[in-house]
A and B are shown apart, each in its own frame.
Chain A
Amino acid sequence: MNVLSWTRRGLFAAAAGAALATGLALTPGTALAQTPPGVLIVGQIAEPKSLDPAAVTAQNDFRIVVNMYEGLVQYKSGTLEVEPSLAESWDVSEDGTEYTFKLREGVTFHDGTPFNAEAVKFNFDRMLDEEHPYHNTGPFPLAFFFSAITETQVVDEYTVKLVLNEPYAPLLSNLAYPTGLLVSPTAVAEYGEDYGRNPVGTGPFQFAEWRSNERVVVERYADYWGEPAEAEAVVFRPITDANTRVAEMLSGGIDVMVEVPPTALSEFQGEDYNIVEQAGPHVWFLILNAKEGPFADKRVRQAANYAINKEALVNDVLEGTAEVAAGPIPPAFAWAYNEELDPYPYDPEKARELIEEAGAEGAELTFYVTEGGSGMLDPIPMGTAIQADLNAVGLDVKIETYEWNTFLGEVNPGLEGKADMAEMAWMTNDPDTLPFLALRTAAFPSEGGFNSGYYSNPEVDALLDKARVETDQEERAKLYKEMQEIVQEDAPWVFVANWKQNAVTSDRVENLVLEPSFLLQLEDVVKN
């Protein structure tokens, strides 16, 4: 009996000890679920790679840098049109090769460095000139957005001129993209290749702290030239697991959550949370191999567009977090979007007829599906739903699934000899980018482009080349609208969905607005 009583005593002691320890740990925990007022805590999907705007490429990193930095121009709230930011005005030369910017005076970087034409020149030279002393602070993967710039000239202290090798209409929207945000030259000189962890800009928030995989903190910049930010500080937390992100939101550990999984949205119905949504410049599509196999026939490509029930995809698989796409340019580019185009309707009968006409009944198709990846939404369930729709009209689709980086390695070099169709999604900053890089004859993979399905139509090529050098926006819009009509008819892709970015906030957060650019501007957001 001795043993029994001892162990019992031991167990009691252990249990009491454990209870005491938990109690100790819990006592200051009454305010556990309360995040402090004035401090906005944002649940991000991953750790940022760097906070150097010229070095980052991911949406996730853009969400932080746009709050610390400013560029010459920015997107006007609620649109994808460009408006002044650090440049008060600009002139474009007659031939479209010289852009002269008049800079805002009296702006300083967070470290006290004055903002002037020299600082602008430093930024573009750092990215573009391989001989620049600080070019080694890169690499700068998206520097090609500005590859048309041959020289940045300092005209006087507050005037700067960008000289291009040829007219390039997307330049202004590229300048509004995070890659065009301006960094402090003194800070780059001071920190060298560690600059990405010691960022200094001119924006409403200044960098305070970065603890690896825990948080990035930015604080209100007191000497900001414009309206000071509402929140005292913003904390960005990387939470890679979507379920954990939802749990943190439900338990009050974060105030704002971005990229809410479609299936979790129902958790946030009700008064304690606000759901915000915004369609953005995103297209989810299927590349069809127009070079060989059944999809070389336009009728079969159109048939695929008719056969796939896109309504069901966006409403059931994606739970309403996307809209049905009509063509290659997303409606978020309101000025360039052709309103008259309707998406291909779901019409399996018509699809069957077209397939019969083309003699492609029972054709075997290889379909590349990815497991995940930037902007790919829910690629596997979407892929299987598409497979089912196509099999229902008499095709025989086989899926091959790849991890994202492997997938890109298979798809980007072109589908020839490997597959008939592949999933793909793009998020862009200008209506030019996607069609120019993925629909022109000169953009075949062998030429270094992304036209992995080998679509080729001289009319489209001509329209896109013309639009790229046209500096008048209305004229450009006309060219793009015409291009969309032709491309929709030719159906080089199955146009599936335009993603609506979403976010959930707790009821203590006010004024959170999502932008069509997908950039998360937080200076007006209030946290009570």
Chain B
Amino acid sequence: MGNYILKRLISAIPVLLGITIIVFLIMAMIPGDPATAILGSYATPENVEKLNRDLGLDKPLVTRYFIWLGNMLTGDFGRSFSLNRPVIDEILERFNATLILAGTSWLLCAIFGILAGVISASRQYGFADKAITFVVLIGISVPSFFLGMMMILLFAVNLRWLPASGMFAIYGGGDLPDLLRHLAMPAVALAVVATGVVARLSRSAMLEVLRQDYIRTARAKGVGERRVLYGHALRAAMVSIIPVLGIQAGFVLSGSVFIEIVFQWPGVGRMLVDAILTRDILLVQGGVVFVAACYVFFNICVDVAQSLLDPRIKT
């Protein structure tokens, strides 16, 4: 097992290197440079050139890439010039917020998605199945940012139950109930689509398993229905549900960009969007590499979890 994990980790290195090259090239190729973005109306060629020199952007491309890569290997992601602080500080602070949001959404989608899938499957074509399928279809079809805006309108503007945006109360606050109040709407809005997907796939995975002989055997020998469902069937179905949960982890992480903008959540997605608009090269590069590394890591985790559950998967 240790060997398998090590192999997977080593195979991640070329992937990450490729990502650094791609993101670096994209940032070098997109039109508009940081100096123009900073200077705005006053971007005369002379001012732009001087500012680019101050920002260290006058060196050749290849030199800049290796300086950046070398610094990153020593843990120095550089300094964001639009935020005037080290890139890594900003990323870690913002990633924390994204993890809270995406993690909560992911838990919600895992719990409610699997539960809905199991209930649906256990009563195929029954009323509960149809009702759940219908709700799931709506959930999958509504874009999360739209749902978010509608929720703000209802719960913040009209009912005034929940704060419209932000992560903590702007004055005072900062404790757990305060965080939960701010988290409720964005986490739900972000979880809805993922929950739908998990529910549909859990349903079909469960249906598949419930047709197996050993389920009939279990029932025949008098095992309680609850144990059949959750002990025998769901456990086997988890092998195909877990990869879906892994994909959904990626989905909520990337989908959080929209939600972070709608709810002004101080997360990494919003940071990247702002950084791209201001051409904050080092922040974009560092952020993308960091998020990509997390993706790779999650994928490895999913593979490992799957191989633990299903001994047939070669390690």
What's the least CB distance linking A62 to chain B, in Å?
12
Q: How far is the CA of A403 from the CA of B273 in the complex (A)?
A: 13
Taking a contact as CB atoms closer than 8 A, the residue among B54, B115, B163 that contacts A32 in the complex is B163
- CB-CB under 8 A from A464, the residues of chain B are none
Taking a contact as CB atoms under 8 Å apart, the answer to whether A244 and B160 are in contact is no
- CB-CB under 8 A from B36, the residues of chain A are 405, 408-409, 412
Taking a contact as CB atoms under 8 Å apart, the answer to whether B262 and A244 are in contact is yes
Partner-binding segment picked from A189-197, A324-332, A480-488 = A189-197
Taking a contact as CB atoms under 8 Å apart, the answer to whether A57 and B84 are in contact is no
Taking a contact as CB atoms under 8 Å apart, the answer to whether A244 and B226 are in contact is no
Partner-binding segment picked from B12-20, B148-156, B194-202, B293-301 = B148-156
Is B33 part of the contact surface with A, judged by Cβ < 8 Å? Answer: yes
Taking a contact as CB atoms under 8 Å apart, the answer to whether A408 and B32 are in contact is yes
- CB-CB under 8 A from B43, the residues of chain A are 408, 412
Chain A to chain B contacts (Cβ below 8 Å), 7 pairs: A6-B226, A141-B51, A215-B170, A244-B165, A247-B149, A251-B163, A403-B32
- CB-CB under 8 A from B122, the residues of chain A are 3
Is A248 part of the contact surface with B, judged by Cβ < 8 Å? Answer: yes
Taking a contact as CB atoms closer than 8 A, the residue among B82, B164, B177 that contacts A248 in the complex is B164
Is B103 part of the contact surface with A, judged by Cβ < 8 Å? Answer: no
Q: Interface size on A (CB < 8 Å)?
A: 74
Q: Interface size on B (CB < 8 Å)?
A: 69
Besides A47-B83, A239-B165, A247-B156, 10 other A-B contacts (C-beta < 8 A): A14-B115, A27-B177, A28-B177, A213-B270, A214-B266, A244-B164, A248-B165, A404-B32, A405-B32, A427-B41
Closest B residue to A213 by beta carbon equals B266
What's the least CB distance linking B156 to chain A, in Å?
4
- Which A positions have Cβ atoms within 8 angstroms of B? 2-3, 6-7, 10, 14, 21-22, 24-29, 32-33, 35-36, 39, 41, 46-47, 49-50, 52, 55, 57-58, 138-139, 141-142, 144, 193-194, 196-197, 212-215, 235, 237-241, 243-244, 247-248, 250-254, 374-375, 403-406, 408-410, 412-413, 426-427, 437, 445, 448-450
Taking a contact as CB atoms closer than 8 A, the residue among A39, A238, A406, A426 that contacts B41 in the complex is A426
Once A138-B54, A253-B165 are accepted as A-B contacts, the answer to whether A46 and B149 lie under 8 Å apart by CB is: no
Taking a contact as CB atoms under 8 Å apart, the answer to whether B160 and A251 are in contact is yes
- CB-CB under 8 A from B274, the residues of chain A are 46-47, 240
- CB-CB under 8 A from A24, the residues of chain B are 177, 180
Taking a contact as CB atoms under 8 Å apart, the answer to whether B84 and A49 are in contact is yes
What's the least CB distance linking A436 to chain B, in Å?
12
- CB-CB under 8 A from A448, the residues of chain B are 44-46
* Dominant secondary structure at the B interface: helix
Closest B residue to A248 by beta carbon equals B164
Once A25-B181, A247-B157 are accepted as A-B contacts, the answer to whether A41 and B171 lie under 8 Å apart by CB is: yes
Closest B residue to A237 by beta carbon equals B170
Closest A residue to B112 by beta carbon equals A14
Q: How far is the CA of A235 from the CA of B171 in the complex (A)?
A: 8
Taking a contact as CB atoms under 8 Å apart, the answer to whether A41 and B40 are in contact is no
Taking a contact as CB atoms under 8 Å apart, the answer to whether B184 and A25 are in contact is yes
What's the least CB distance linking B55 to chain A, in Å?
7
Closest A residue to B82 by beta carbon equals A49
Enumerate B201-227 residues with CB–CB distance to A below 8 Å.
224-226
Taking a contact as CB atoms under 8 Å apart, the answer to whether A250 and B157 are in contact is yes
Once A57-B38, A237-B170 are accepted as A-B contacts, the answer to whether A212 and B165 lie under 8 Å apart by CB is: no
Q: How far is the CA of A241 from the CA of B47 in the complex (A)?
A: 31
Is B60 part of the contact surface with A, judged by Cβ < 8 Å? Answer: no
Taking a contact as CB atoms under 8 Å apart, the answer to whether B160 and A212 are in contact is no
Taking a contact as CB atoms under 8 Å apart, the answer to whether B40 and A58 are in contact is yes
Once A235-B171, A244-B152, A426-B41 are accepted as A-B contacts, the answer to whether A7 and B262 lie under 8 Å apart by CB is: no
Taking a contact as CB atoms closer than 8 A, the residue among A55, A238, A240, A450 that contacts B84 in the complex is A55
- CB-CB under 8 A from B41, the residues of chain A are 374-375, 426-427, 450
- CB-CB under 8 A from B84, the residues of chain A are 49-50, 52, 55, 193-194, 196-197
Taking a contact as CB atoms under 8 Å apart, the answer to whether B83 and A247 are in contact is no
Taking a contact as CB atoms under 8 Å apart, the answer to whether B85 and A247 are in contact is no
- CB-CB under 8 A from B224, the residues of chain A are 2
Is B42 part of the contact surface with A, judged by Cβ < 8 Å? Answer: yes
- CB-CB under 8 A from A29, the residues of chain B are 161-162, 181
Enumerate B1-57 residues with CB–CB distance to A below 8 Å.
30-33, 35-47, 51, 54-55
What's the least CB distance linking B202 to chain A, in Å?
14
What's the least CB distance linking A19 to chain B, in Å?
12
Is B243 part of the contact surface with A, judged by Cβ < 8 Å? Answer: no
Taking a contact as CB atoms closer than 8 A, the residue among B40, B171, B264 that contacts A39 in the complex is B171
- CB-CB under 8 A from A409, the residues of chain B are 31-33, 36
- CB-CB under 8 A from B79, the residues of chain A are 193
What's the least CB distance linking B26 to chain A, in Å?
14
Taking a contact as CB atoms under 8 Å apart, the answer to whether A25 and B180 are in contact is yes
Enumerate B73-91 residues with CB–CB distance to A below 8 Å.
79, 81-85, 90
